[in-house]
Amino acid sequence: MPELPEVETIVRSLRPHLRGAVIRDVAAPGGRLRHPVDVEALRLACRGQAIAELRRRAKYILVELSSGTVLVLHLGMTGAFRVVPSAAPAATHERVVWILEDGRSWRFMDPRRFGSVQVCTSLGADGLPAALAGLGPEPLEAGFDGEYLYRRTRGRDRPIKNHIMDQAEVVGVGNIYASEALFRAGISPRRRCGTLSRKALDRLADAIREVLTEAIAAGGTTIDDFRDVDGSEGHFTTNLQVYGRQGQDCLRCGRPGGIRRLVQAGRSTYCCPRCQR
């Protein structure tokens, strides 16, 4: 499943291809996604409009049209984009196609249909879709730091890994990056969040930013179906220190077979019990 770095990578690679392009029409050849695709609403919103900007908020892709209307896209588990000449044959699992005035098409493929493409009907005061108002801060922007984590964890009892994966607390820290950041910060994923010191949470905030920044620089992590717009794979897998390494030696303390896998809230967590307290 694409996480924040993958979505950021996709937005950055789509932007030069799409910014300024004018949409002639929209087609939805592929049936329903997570939500039904309202092709009439999409046509009404998109026809004749230029794509003014593409932005990311959490794992949503926001497409701002010249009219001020915003499209809200989500990749779900297996969503991917291509920008190709309109004459190019349809790929399998094409769900939504934006036909551009310049002879190209922007195509959204999604084999498993957990993605979504919607026209935003209501913008909040911040100019973002009102439906995204309950999301926590972006981890790479001002407002997310050790002080913030400290304030939000006082008096709370849940494991720290579950806390940082809660989108209402901070967005975009998915399963892979939560495991990696906790390892780097030397914090056990099972540790009750309210018992962590300010210093430990400073380390954790730094580690989250570090891991995500490195992953974006590497073009995202290749797990399962993630591909960049041009079909190239992300390269962050080589930097994973705990994720998927159960039974292997710990890269920090060197303990043979030191990396353990455990299950929290139904998700696999990887850690070194010796290095993480």
Return d(Cα 153, Cα 134) in angstroms, integer.
18
Q: Which residues are CB-contacts of 179 (< 8 A; sequence separation ≥ 6)?
A: 161, 189, 242, 243, 269, 270, 271
Nearer to Zn ion, 161 or 227 (CB): 161
Nearer to Zn ion, 235 or 252 (CB): 252
Q: How far is the CB of 180 from Zn ion (least distance, A)?
A: 14
Which residue bears the tokens 């209501």?
122
**How many Å separate Cα 223 from the centre of its chain?**
13
Nearer to Zn ion, 229 or 275 (CB): 275
Q: Based on the residue annotation, tell me whether 59 is a catalytic residue of this protein.
A: yes
Here the tokens at position 197 are 């010191």
Nearest to 105 by CA among 76, 85, 132: 85
Q: Based on the residue annotation, tell me whether 199 is a catalytic residue of this protein.
A: no
Strand order in the sheet with 80-85: 23-27, 94-100, 104-109, 80-85
Catalytic residue, chosen from 56, 59, 95, 107, is 59
Question: Using CB under 5 A as the criterion, which residues of the chain lie in contact with Zn ion when the complex forms?
Answer: 250, 252-253, 258, 272, 274-275
How many CA atoms lie less than 13 Å away from 214 in the CB half-sphere?
17
Q: How far is the CB of 178 from Zn ion (least distance, A)?
A: 17
Q: Based on the residue annotation, tell me whether 3 is a catalytic residue of this protein.
A: yes
Nearer to Zn ion, 115 or 258 (CB): 258
**How many Å separate Cα 102 from the centre of its chain?**
30
Nearest to 26 by CA among 13, 9, 39: 39
Q: How far is the CB of 204 from Zn ion (least distance, A)?
A: 17
Q: For 19, which DSSP code?
A: T
Return d(Cα 161, Cα 261) in angstroms, integer.
14
Nearer to Zn ion, 204 or 250 (CB): 250
Q: Are 165 and 178 in contact (CB under 8 A)?
A: yes
Q: How far is the CB of 259 from Zn ion (least distance, A)?
A: 8
Q: How far is the CB of 255 from Zn ion (least distance, A)?
A: 5
Where in the sequence numbering do the catalytic residues fall?
A: 2-3, 59, 267
